[in-house]
């Protein structure tokens, strides 16, 4: 039964990756999806075992066995699989690097990583958990800080500049006119010095059109019930963050920290 839950968590992680996180994911690296789904399934399994411990579901020996297996598995993914695949992805993206050097450089980078990972302390499972915990808390703090700034900017209407369909159409016409001029000059074999500025202008206009369309989509989304909900939520958390910053400043200035 526990295995069925793990399979269900894996499938849910796979669907969540494909349908929610990266719905426009064009690279389709299968290993990235597998590692994400495995990590997601193992994390949900650890949380599930805590709930089973509270409600007394399954035998204690079975829970302990699955806990140890899940713990060792997730440590293997975080300490071995993820760093190795990350290093491999970095090296394979270097165009001038020969393929025969990919594996040696990947292993060398992982050895350097594991050396600094275990530099302080002894090679035990407790030390691994403590280091992973510190890294995890640090990453979560960085992501929380980024989300606290990015989410209000994306969903609050105060940060949206009005964009009409006429403005988008006008910019698209400018882009099409520039593209036609580039094609016409290339057909007449005009000097390259005249074509390059037009190509730069076309790239600029294309980015402007994309930005205007994205802003228009954000405005249309903000008019829906879900968009209005996130708008109110963004204002609430913005005020909450300002209050927390104020309280922290007061505590530091008046030496109230730790009292």
67 and 166 share one domain: no
User: What's the pLDDT at 128?
Assistant: 77
Q: What is the number of domains present in the chain? A: 2
Residue 249 has pLDDT above 60, yes or no: yes
| Residue 144, in any domain of the structure | no
Please give the Cα distance from 106 to 134 (Å, whole number).
24
User: What's the pLDDT at 259?
Assistant: 47
70 and 169 share one domain: no
User: What's the pLDDT at 100?
Assistant: 82
212-228 pLDDT tens trace: 787 777 777 777 887 78
30 and 82 share one domain: yes
171 and 102 share one domain: no
| Residue 22, in any domain of the structure | yes
Number of H helices, E strands in the chain: 9, 0
User: What's the pLDDT at 58?
Assistant: 77
User: What's the pLDDT at 159?
Assistant: 65
36-65 pLDDT tens trace: 889 888 888 888 888 888 888 778 888 888
The residue written with tokens 């302080």 in the block is 120
Range of the domain at 210: 157-253
11 and 90 share one domain: yes
Run of H or E residues at 209: helix 192-222
164 and 222 share one domain: yes
User: What's the pLDDT at 187?
Assistant: 65
| Residue 150, in any domain of the structure | no
Q: Is 213 exposed, middle or buried (0-12, 13-18, 19+ CB in 10 A)?
A: middle
| Residue 139, in any domain of the structure | no
| Residue 161, in any domain of the structure | yes
Residue 79 has pLDDT above 70, yes or no: yes
Q: Is 106 exposed, middle or buried (0-12, 13-18, 19+ CB in 10 A)?
A: buried
Q: Which candidate, 97, 224, 94, places its Cα nearest to that of 155?
A: 224
User: How large a percentage of the chain has pLDDT more than 70?
Assistant: 84
User: What's the pLDDT at 213?
Assistant: 80
| Residue 88, in any domain of the structure | yes
138-191 pLDDT tens trace: 888 787 777 777 777 776 666 666 767 777 777 778 878 777 777 776 666 655
189 and 248 share one domain: yes
87 and 19 share one domain: yes
Whether the Cβ atoms of residue 41 and residue 74 lie closer than 8 Å to each other:
no
Please give the Cα distance from 205 to 217 (Å, whole number).
18
Please give the Cα distance from 174 to 27 (Å, whole number).
31
| Residue 127, in any domain of the structure | no
- DSSP 3-state assignment of 101? helix
- DSSP 3-state assignment of 179? helix
DSSP 120: S
| Residue 141, in any domain of the structure | no
Q: What is the mean pLDDT of residues 191-204?
A: 72
Nearby residues of 79 by Cβ (< 8 Å), 6 or more positions away: 114, 117, 128, 132
80-132 pLDDT tens trace: 888 899 888 888 888 777 888 888 888 998 888 888 777 665 567 777 777 77
Whether the Cβ atoms of residue 157 and residue 210 lie closer than 8 Å to each other:
no
């Amino acid at each position: 039964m526990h295995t069925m839950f793990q399979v269900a968590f894996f499938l849910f992680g796979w669907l969540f990756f494909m349908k929610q996180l990266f719905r426009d994911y064009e690279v389709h690296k299968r290993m990235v999806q597998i590692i994400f789904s495995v990590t997601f399934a193992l994390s949900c399994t650890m949380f599930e075992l805590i709930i089973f411990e509270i409600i007394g579901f399954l035998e204690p020996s079975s829970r302990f066995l699955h806990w140890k297996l899940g713990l060792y598995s997730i440590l293997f993914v975080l300490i071995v699989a993820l760093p190795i695949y990350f290093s491999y992805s970095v090296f394979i993206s270097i165009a001038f690097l020969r393929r025969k050097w990919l594996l040696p450089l990947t292993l060398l980078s992982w050895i350097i990583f594991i050396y600094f990972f275990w530099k302080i302390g002894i090679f035990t499972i407790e030390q691994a958990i403590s280091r992973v915990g510190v890294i995890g808390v640090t990453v979560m703090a960085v992501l929380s800080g980024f989300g606290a700034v990015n989410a209000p900017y994306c969903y609050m209407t105060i940060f949206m500049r009005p964009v009409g369909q006429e403005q988008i159409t006008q910019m698209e016409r400018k882009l099409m006119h520039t593209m036609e001029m580039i094609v016409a000059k290339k057909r007449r074999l005009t000097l390259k010095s005249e074509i390059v500025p037009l190509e730069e202008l076309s790239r600029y206009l294309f980015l402007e059109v994309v930005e205007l369309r994205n802003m228009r989509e954000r405005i249309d989304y903000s008019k829906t019930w879900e968009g209005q909900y996130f708008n109110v939520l963004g204002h609430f958390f913005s005020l909450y963050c300002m209050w927390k910053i104020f309280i922290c400043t007061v505590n530091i200035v008046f030496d109230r920290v730790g009292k």
